[in-house]
Amino acid sequence: MAVKAKILLMLSVSSTMLFFLLEFSNKLSFSVITYQLNIYKQNSCSCEKCLSEDKMFQFHHMNHSVKPFLTAKSELSEEDYAWWKNIQRERGDYSTYKATVKELFEIFPAEPDYEKPRSDRCRTCAVVGNSANLLKSHYGPLIDSQDIVIRINYGKVKGYEEDVGSKTTHRVMYPESSSRLDNTTHLVLFAFKIKDLQWLKKAFLTGFFGRSYTSTKSTIKANKDLVMVVNPALMKHAHVVWLKKKGVYPSTGFMTLILALHMCDEVHVFGFGADSDGNWSHYFEVLRNKKFKTGIHPGQQEFAVIEELANQKTIKFYRGY
């Protein structure tokens, strides 16, 4: 009888523990599901397919510890700084970089002006490259229909509206490719050296009179409240993760595409790659050297990544003519 009582007691304890574990498991599962739903609600947008909800894309390609823009609270690791410094053999040191960034955000917004995903809207973006394949494409109206239109460096609008559109909300540049902007366009700076950050400050205030490898505008006309500075860590991420360290560093156009993947719910890509004759040239220039490819930038690898993203339906890619 004593043995039978012990067995019954053990069965009772085991049943109680099993019940407790099942209850805990159910509550845990419910909590996980609730958490996932809350994340979904926070990140969801009204697009047919939102980048923020593409789990495979987010898992394989996006590193959310890498913020797209510098802010007043940004911290660039010494490892990321070392990669960035090597692009143009920067002479300044890490402490000079940090001091320069601190000075920047005494003038420009501490946080960049861009919205996170929202459930009540679909924020579409057009990334407009400068390839000659845009000529005769008639993409202008489609480009202008996007919420955000990002143009790159010297990409001209006047005289090319039928093919490239007329709307510009963001203009990507570095000091040597700078241009005047209207009061509603965001200046998006890709800085390749400390001097580029110093240029940004002085071009708005006293005028910049330093030297570079080519002529640089000493002043710039733009809305200082719409200035955005791309995080060097994102530039490194584009090179190391997306391009597997191919080329010296990515083109400004490719890095702009990676930036758009962080900013937008839906990305439409125009003006990338060679033209129909296999030439790499700009739509606003006469091609003089047909042997020119993409210089220090890994053009073929960049184009392969764009095609892969298009095939996976992560982006919408318009090839031009």
Q: Tens digits of per-residue pLDDT, 114-148?
A: 766 666 788 999 999 999 999 999 999 999 999 99
- Asked whether residue 221 is assigned to any structural domain, the reply reads yes
253 carries a ligand binding annotation: yes
Predicted pLDDT at 285 = 84
Q: Which two tokens stand for residue 138?
A: 């008639």
CA 280, CA 88: separation in Å to the nearest integer? 24
- DSSP state at residue 134: G
213 carries a ligand binding annotation: yes
- Asked whether residue 106 is assigned to any structural domain, the reply reads yes
297 carries a ligand binding annotation: yes
Hey, which residues are catalytic here? 249, 297
Residue 292: φ, ψ to 5°:
-70, 135
Predicted pLDDT at 16 = 46
Predicted pLDDT at 59 = 56
60 carries a ligand binding annotation: no
User: Domain range spanning residue 76?
Assistant: 45-318
pTM above 0.85, yes or no: no
Query: How confident is the model over 15-67, as pLDDT tens digits?
Result: 444 344 344 444 433 333 333 333 334 456 888 878 877 766 665 566 767 89
- Asked whether residue 91 is assigned to any structural domain, the reply reads yes
The CATH number of whichever domain residue 243 belongs to comes to: 3.90.1480.20
Q: Tens place of pLDDT for every residue, the chain, 321 residues?
A: 454 554 444 445 444 443 443 444 444 333 333 333 333 344 568 888 788 777 666 655 667 678 999 999 999 999 999 999 998 777 789 999 999 999 999 999 999 877 666 667 889 999 999 999 999 999 999 999 999 999 999 999 999 999 999 999 999 999 999 999 999 999 999 999 999 999 999 999 999 988 777 788 999 999 999 999 999 999 999 999 999 999 989 999 999 999 999 999 999 999 998 877 777 888 988 877 666 665 677 888 999 999 999 999 999 999 988
- Asked whether residue 285 is assigned to any structural domain, the reply reads yes
CA 144, CA 283: separation in Å to the nearest integer? 18
- Asked whether residue 25 is assigned to any structural domain, the reply reads no
Answer yes or no: are the C-beta atoms of 127 and 269 closer than 8 Å: yes
- Asked whether residue 30 is assigned to any structural domain, the reply reads no
Amino acid letter, residue 37? L
- Work out how many domains the chain is built from and give that number: 1
- Asked whether residue 50 is assigned to any structural domain, the reply reads yes
153 carries a ligand binding annotation: yes
Predicted pLDDT at 110 = 93
CB atoms within 10 A of CB 44: 16
Q: Which residues contact 163 (CB under 8 A, 6 or more apart)?
A: 134, 135, 136, 137, 138, 139, 140, 283
> Among all chains, which residue has been given the structure tokens 């409240």?
225
Strand order in the sheet with 148-152: 227-229, 186-189, 170-173, 148-152, 124-128, 266-270, 316-318
